[in-house]
């Protein structure tokens, strides 16, 4: 399977964000990707007061990426969007997966919400406006079992262990908008750890650059193999990178170093 990670700088102009996303999907298809992965909040990352109205999973956002998948003939992981939530004050942070025919095949609501207070650096309470999901999801993408997560989920290894062991995942996907101050120290370390400890490929697509209000994202979208080797990493710019996933290598690693089989707890 060839995968492409798409790195964006989504801001307050939703139409422009979607135009860039479509362009990157076209580039991914031209590069021979079977699956293209977009980052968290691909359609809008800006001030809350100008945010688009939340949608259902069959709304305009879904129709846009369903059409892209169908016209390009590839699997599309549409990052995430603001799904209409359980009440007027809260949305869900939701991933949608479309097959090459444009059908919605899976969805996932972010479980772990980014409620963080780092003195003098960041104050962010995602739970004020976002409701947490409650279900882990493993999707079949091109016949490959793929575990779904979003951004802050990355810090919770028990989620990925469930995806790999109970869900039999071979690939773990992480769309993100990882902030600069944590990203430069934690992003690659955590991604490689999730790959090594679960003996899975990790495919991580991030936002990059400045976003209103006063937010800077780290970028460095990447693909990592089950040994923890970075196969591809995006430069510090909008664009795509691709990598080929070799599942015979994955099975060889699991056979020679059977850490999943050796678990005691």
Annotation marks residue 252 as catalytic? no
Are 3 and 222 contacting, i.e. CB atoms less than 8 angstroms apart?
A: no
Structure tokens at 241: 């990178």
pLDDT values of the chain reduced to their tens digit, one per residue, 265 residues: 999 999 999 999 999 999 999 999 999 999 999 999 999 999 999 998 889 999 999 999 999 999 999 999 999 999 999 999 999 999 999 999 999 999 999 999 999 999 988 776 667 889 999 999 999 999 999 999 999 999 999 999 999 999 999 999 999 999 999 999 899 999 999 999 999 999 999 999 999 999 977 889 999 999 999 999 999 999 999 999 999 999 999 999 999 999 999 999 8
- pLDDT value, residue 121: 66
Q: Considering the domain 2-256 in this protein, what is its CATH number?
A: 3.60.110.10
Spatial separation of the C-alpha atoms in residues 74 and 47, rounded to whole Å = 32
Domain ranges of the chain: 2-256
Q: For the chain, percent helix, then strand, then coil, each to nearest 5? A: 30, 35, 35
Catalytic residue among 40, 55, 83, 200: 40
Q: Is the pTM of this model over 0.85?
A: yes
Annotation marks residue 12 as catalytic? no
Annotation marks residue 151 as catalytic? yes
Catalytic residue among 6, 55, 83, 110: 110
Catalytic residue among 6, 151, 200, 217: 151
């Amino acid at each position: 399977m060839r995968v492409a990670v798409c790195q964006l700088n989504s801001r307050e102009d939703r139409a422009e964000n979607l135009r860039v996303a479509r362009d990157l999907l076209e580039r991914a298809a031209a590069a021979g990707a079977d699956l293209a992965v977009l980052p968290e909040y691909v359609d809008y990352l800006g001030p809350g007061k100008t945010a688009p109205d939340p949608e259902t999973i069959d709304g305009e956002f879904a129709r846009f990426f369903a059409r892209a998948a169908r016209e390009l003939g590839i699997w599309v992981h549409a990052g995430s969007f603001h799904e209409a939530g359980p009440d007027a004050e809260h949305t869900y942070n939701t991933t949608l997966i479309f097959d090459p025919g444009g059908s919605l095949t899976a969805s996932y609501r972010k479980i772990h919400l980014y409620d963080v207070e780092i003195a003098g650096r960041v104050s962010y309470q995602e739970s004020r406006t976002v409701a947490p999901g409650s279900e882990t999801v493993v999707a079949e993408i091109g016949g490959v079992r793929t575990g779904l997560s979003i951004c802050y989920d990355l810090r919770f290894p028990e989620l990925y262990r469930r995806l790999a062991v109970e869900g039999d995942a071979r690939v773990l996907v992480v769309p993100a908008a990882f902030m600069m101050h944590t990203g430069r120290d934690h992003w690659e370390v955590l991604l490689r750890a999730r790959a090594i400890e679960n003996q899975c490929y990790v495919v991580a697509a991030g936002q990059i650059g400045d976003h209103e209000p006063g937010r800077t994202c780290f970028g460095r979208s990447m693909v990592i193999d089950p040994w923890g080797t970075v196969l591809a990493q995006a430069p510090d710019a909008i664009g795509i990178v691709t990598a080929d996933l070799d599942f015979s290598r994955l099975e060889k690693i699991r056979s020679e170093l059977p850490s999943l089989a050796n678990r005691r707890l």
